[in-house]
Amino acid sequence: MEDVDRALERTIDALLDERRAGTTICPSEAARAVDPEGWRELMPAARAAAGRLAAAGEVEVTQRGEVVDVATARGPVRVRRRR
Domain ranges within the chain, ordered by starting residue: 3-81
Query: Which CATH number among 3.40.190.10, 3.40.1390.10, 1.10.10.10, 3.40.50.460 corresponds to the domain 3-81?
Result: 1.10.10.10
The answer for residues whose C-beta is within 8 angstroms of residue 2's C-beta and 6 or more apart is none
pTM, entire model:
0.93
β partners of residue 25: 79
Least Cα distance to 29 among 3, 2, 55, 11 occurs for 11
pLDDT in tens, 20-33: 988 999 999 999 99
1 has pLDDT over 70: no
42 has pLDDT over 70: yes
What is the pLDDT at residue 68? 97
What integer best gives the mean pLDDT of the chain? 96
What is the pLDDT at residue 83? 82
